[in-house]
Structure 1
Amino acid sequence: MPEPPEHYYASTPGVASSRRTIEVELPDLRLELVTDTGVFSHRQLDPGTRVLLEQAPPPPVRGDLLDLGCGYGPIALALSQRMKRRRVWAVDVNERALELVRENAAAAGLGGVRAALPDDVPDDVRFAAVYSNPPIRVGKAALHELLLHWLARLLPDGAAYLVVQRHLGADSLATWLNEAGHPTRRLASRIGYRVLEVRPAESERR
């Protein structure tokens, strides 16, 4: 039974804590992660997140990476495991999720992961790539605002890689991003999910 979405959108989830450990196995790595109620997909690795981690390419340029809406950290930790010399920012509004990221990164020996609230990421930080299973269910207006804010912080030759379910509007989101000036194309389509590559707007490439 799906968990109510407001739990993991909240800064302090109202649902009681109930931790568990899950194993994340990808073709090139394995992670053991502690999860908890009140964070996104706490029972198992979300299938969209798996598609993103298996299909999205490495960053196109050197620089910091961003896991936007990090939850308990599977994307951030996988990126850090693959690219240990990169700094990976794990950003979420959910304090419980950020604490899990910190614990999971420490347990895995991944010192390059920085868990932070959105407002705690320094203004001068720019990203070579953003990887995200974005919170579609926050609503279209809030989602668009969120994406435009962070896409503006890509390096000129950087890219964002988003995974979105087809039936939750992946194609219409791609259309909107293109119309908003962010060149967007579909990189992959698997089990009902689209992986989108989004580039900075022309005005942000200078």
Structure 2
Amino acid sequence: MDTAHYFAPDPAAPADLREREVVLRGRARTVTTGGSVFSAGGLDKATAILLDEVPDPPTTGTLLDLGCGWGPITLALADASPGADVLAVDVSERALDLTARNAAAAGAPRVAALTPEAALERLGADGRVDAIWSNPPVRVGKQALHDLLDLWLPRLAPGALAHLVVGKNLGADSLHRWLQDERGWAVERVGSSKGFRVLAVTGS
């Protein structure tokens, strides 16, 4: 399966916008998805498992959806914590447009859909986030994934949690070991379902 278009800033394929009915942590939503954006057909299994397994995020502060796609995790964060700022980060301009569109339709004014560079600029040199929820783009390749996590996990506030969902057959257990043994993070497997692991990383 060629997934390179998911990581393209400006995908060449037609937008092919479509409305979908999804349920995010028990809440029904009508969302818009589009071509060349991850899981354009609706809510993917891994993200659904993540949303079922994670505890509620902090009610205030700054929450991060890393690799937002069309925005299911962003919408779940905004629903759970309407008093928090939610940063939806993706390299794809189409994904950011869809997330912004879906957040506006959901009445979530504190969502900001941003490129990684814009999100880092908004946070500032020393800015931290109070939670990260992510179905990270494992298929971008191991080194690129490691670089992504090396960039964002240090932005966790002390004691804050990053929840990541990764397929066992896509290297969830080796990622756990890398985070813990090579990078020194406190990592706990907090969920396992249908071939996916949910890992919790604690900020230091």
Query: Is 2:99 aligned against 1:96?
Result: no
| 1:152 aligned to which of 151, 154, 158 | 154
How big is the shift at 1:148? 1.2
How big is the shift at 1:26? 3.8
1:67 counterpart residue number: 65
Change (3 A) 1:61 1:178: farther
Q: Distance in 2 between matches of 1:182 and 1:60?
A: 21
In the alignment, structure 1 segments of 5+ residues that lack a partner are none
2:45 counterpart residue number: 47
Q: Residues 60 and 159 of structure 1 are in contact (CA less than 8 Å); yes or no, is this contact kept in structure 2?
A: no
- One-letter amino acid of the structure 1 residue matched with residue 195 of structure 2: G
How big is the shift at 1:61? 8.0
RMSD of Structure 2 on Structure 1 (CA): 1.3
Q: Distance in 1 between matches of 2:187 and 2:118?
A: 28
2:199 counterpart residue number: 196
Moved over 4 A (4+): none
Partner deviation per Cα, 1:66-100 (whole Å, 9 max, x = no partner) = 00000010000111011111111000000000001
How big is the shift at 1:58? 2.1
In the alignment, structure 2 segments of 5+ residues that lack a partner are none
Q: Secondary structure of 1:152's match?
A: helix
Query: Is 2:190 aligned against 1:187?
Result: yes
Instruction: Please show how residues 165-184 of structure 1 align to structure 2 within 5 Å.
Output: 165-179=167-181, 180-184=183-187
Which range is displaced more, 56-65 or 28-37?
56-65
1:38 counterpart residue number: 36
Query: Is 2:124 aligned against 1:126?
Result: no
Aligned residues: percent identity? 47
Query: Aligned residue pairs: how many?
Result: 199
Q: Residues 24 and 76 of structure 2 are in contact (CA less than 8 Å); yes or no, is this contact kept in structure 1?
A: no
